[in-house]
Copies of this chain bind each other. A is one copy, B any other.
Amino acid sequence: MANTFASRMIINVLGIPGILLLVYLGRFYFAIFITLVCLLALREFYLLCRIKGISPQFSVGALACILISLFYYRGLESTILSFSWQNIVILLVLITIVFELFRNKEKGTENIAITLGGILYIPILLGGLIALRQIDLLDYSFGMRLTMSLFITLWVCDSAAYVFGKMWGKKKILERVSPKKTVTGCTAGLVSAILIYLLIWKLGYLESSQSSVSLSILDVLILGIIVGVFGQMGDFIESLIKRDVGVKDSSNFLLGHGGVLDRFDSLIVASPLTYLYLKLSIGSGV
């Protein structure tokens, strides 16, 4: 127990400033980091599904992580060797189903579906973080500020939900999926997410210095709700998968923190939604 606590502390002491530094550096440093996170998280997801007797195609998953991250890095409208994002998705599906023919594994249908489902769940959703960091409205630091705010808000939301839930939480919110989470904890998470976003905004951190873009109070409220509601749902979705498989942590990769998937579960849902919202609200520059 003490050991777990110590290793949790080490991960936090190294992990938090490490991630903030990578967000600050941006460019391919951040993109490569997120690609590695996707590769590790997808591997964990596939290993979890193996417990159910399913044999996903790890190699196709890895190829997809690299290609999709590259698209998020270069822009979703770019091409790779004349192939658009749409074409690559079509090709990945064709490769997966054709490969399965020659694999001689049980549960062929699930093998195909889990291979492809994992690609949609992890690189396609979580890769949204790369797109968010790449947002460039004349001012490359705007993407950095947005990504920084997302990480900080999520961490505060997670911690508030944990502390308030532990201290005052009684009524379970969705016991079937996640037996420990309480209404009090989740509410505290949501309220703190909105408050932190508002604070960051009030401090002027969410204004783009060189362009005319600025977020309204409504934008900031919606970003807070994305983290506070949908980020927490990301957590529930991972719990649903783990409960379905029958394990507690996605792996033991991050000693005491469970696996990579456990650490990035809220971001899997919150990042693409934050990116999509900003794209729709600010428009073409995103």
Contact = CB atoms under 8 A, between A and B. Distances in A.
A134 to B, nearest CB: 14
B279 A109 contact: no
A113 B108 contact: no
A90 B272 contact: yes
A269 interface: yes
Interface in A83-97: 83-87, 89-91, 93-94, 97
A76 B82 contact: no
Given A94-B272, A108-B240, A101 B280 contact: no
A223 interface: no
A279 B87 contact: yes
Interface string A39-79: 00000000011001000000000000000000000001100
Interface of A: prevailing SS: helix
A219 interface: no
Interface stretch (A13-21, A114-122, A144-152, A184-192): A114-122
A125 B93 contact: yes
Contacts of A98: 230, 233, 237, 269
Contacts of A237: 97-98, 100-101
A97 B269 contact: yes
Interface of A: 48-49, 52, 76-77, 82-87, 89-91, 93-94, 97-98, 100-101, 104, 106-110, 112-114, 116-118, 120-121, 124-125, 128, 174, 176-177, 230, 233, 236-237, 240-241, 243-245, 269, 272-273, 276, 279-280
15 contacts: A76-B84, A86-B86, A87-B279, A89-B89, A90-B124, A90-B125, A90-B276, A93-B121, A94-B230, A98-B269, A109-B240, A109-B245, A110-B114, A116-B117, A116-B120
